[in-house]
A = this chain, B = another copy of it.
Amino acid sequence: MVSEKMKPFMANNSAIRAMFEEGKKMAAVYGAENVYDFSLGNPNVPVPEVNEAILEIVKEEAFNALHGYMSNAGFEDVRQTIAQSINERFGTSFSEKNLIMTVGAASGLNVILKSILNPGDQVIVFAPYFVEYDGYVRNYDGEVVRISPDTETFMPKLDEFEEKITKRTKAVIINNPNNPTGVVYGEDTIKALAAILEKKEKEFGISILLISDEPYRELAYGVEVPYVTKYYHNTVVGYSYSKSLSIPGERIGYLVIPDEVDESGELITAASIANRVLGCVNAPSLIQKVIHYCIRHKVTVNVEAYEKNRDLLYHALKEDGFTCAKPDGAFYLFVKSPVADEKEFCETAKKHHVLMVPGSSFACPGYVRIAYCVSHEQIERSLPAFREIAREYGLLK
């Protein structure tokens, strides 16, 4: 009954999701307070203004206008407000036409990839990366080309990138700030990346779309996250409010397709249609209005809470003898496994009720991802378990 294309997905089902389901089972057995689940990027910092927005909107807006169909690209006023907000913050000049509201960033990526990919087109990604990208690309018969990880800095290996661009390269996906490493690509990196893309576009006479996946844009700890459309003409930005408003279950985000993109008008039309034909039809309507409210009321998540978590866990793990690059953004630590097979390390950690995700799920074996978007108390409670694990591996002198 199941299609051939779905079978590989079933064989390699998301380790993150499997861990999430396992965490729920373990919590039922041992009690939630005794399981240290660092598996899923499920934000824990509430943004109460989201609820205030919902209450106000439901009371004030007419029922059918609020819950009814609108254009497939989303409410015009919502898109206009978002465009203005981006323009004010980053000096861009988008209008509502450049914005398409999507069912989260994951759906936005699907929409843009469906809009551009022909079978066999190559999409370049930089390891480590969110391997769901592989599925999104395969959905449209594209081929993922991986750039190997620079495990010193976790910045993109630009030499290898330049070598691997071919005539079949249709798109490049970057994720900034990065999941799973938390590193932030600065202006120099983006400029260098753009220069390579421009050179290769000329060399091969092709258009290469740079897709910047930015759900963690607002979660940066004192560093600038460059707005990529300003550095490279063929850039599309995928955004999500999952992390910046702590509402991943609500599925709301957008695509920005600038006028500077080749055949921009056609691409915008294609993306609006793809949004409909893939079955989303439009992003959820009430939550679109919530975004409108939150922008007008300058609502932001408490980034300091995540920074405090990072500091506590990062320093504790360093003291325990673990190796880890200090992240500048997102809410992940990417820790070197003390043994080559990081899945074994994860299994050992699980015995101590610590759940983390193997790096092989990010095309970077030998590392594990720890999502610290949990309560500060969970981190505090988990520290003795991490210390035990460090002892078991002889990391503590």
Taking beta carbons and an 8 Å cutoff, which residues of A are in contact with B?
1-6, 9-10, 13-14, 17, 20-21, 40, 42-44, 46-48, 50-51, 54-55, 58, 63-64, 66-72, 102-104, 106-111, 114-118, 132, 135-136, 139-140, 207, 209, 246-251, 261-263, 266-267, 269-270, 273-274, 276-287
The complex places the Cα of A136 from the Cα of B278 at a distance, in Å, of: 7
A261 neighbours in B (Cβ, 8 Å)? 1
A4 neighbours in B (Cβ, 8 Å)? 118
Per a CB cutoff under 8 Å, which of B14, B51, B110 touches A278?
Answer: B110
Contact A273 B118 (CB under 8 A): no
The complex places the Cα of A287 from the Cα of B118 at a distance, in Å, of: 35
A110 neighbours in B (Cβ, 8 Å)? 278-279
The complex places the Cα of A284 from the Cα of B107 at a distance, in Å, of: 13
A249 neighbours in B (Cβ, 8 Å)? 66-70, 282, 284-286
A62 to chain B, nearest CB (A): 8
A287 neighbours in B (Cβ, 8 Å)? 284, 286
Given A246-B63, A279-B109: A69 and B51 interface contact (C-beta under 8 Å): no
Given A1-B261, A10-B269, A285-B249: A68 and B51 interface contact (C-beta under 8 Å): no
A43 neighbours in B (Cβ, 8 Å)? 64, 68
Contact A67 B246 (CB under 8 A): yes
Given A248-B69, A276-B14: A54 and B286 interface contact (C-beta under 8 Å): yes
Contact A72 B17 (CB under 8 A): yes
Contact B246 A71 (CB under 8 A): no
A280 neighbours in B (Cβ, 8 Å)? 103-104, 106-107, 251, 279-280
Output the residue of A4, A43, A251, A262 with the most chain B CB within 10 A: A251
A310 to chain B, nearest CB (A): 19
4 closest cross-chain pairs (CB), A and B: A249-B285, A107-B279, A110-B279, A46-B63
A301 to chain B, nearest CB (A): 11
A262 neighbours in B (Cβ, 8 Å)? 1
Closest B residue by C-beta to A253: B279
The complex places the Cα of A43 from the Cα of B66 at a distance, in Å, of: 12
Per a CB cutoff under 8 Å, which of B17, B106, B111, B263 touches A1?
Answer: B263
Closest B residue by C-beta to A242: B69
Contact A116 B3 (CB under 8 A): yes
The complex places the Cα of A139 from the Cα of B276 at a distance, in Å, of: 12
**Could you show 24 A-B contacts with beta carbons less than 8 Å apart?**
A1-B116, A2-B115, A5-B140, A6-B270, A9-B270, A9-B273, A10-B273, A17-B72, A51-B63, A64-B246, A67-B246, A67-B248, A67-B250, A102-B279, A103-B280, A104-B279, A106-B279, A107-B280, A110-B279, A111-B279, A249-B285, A250-B285, A250-B286, A279-B280
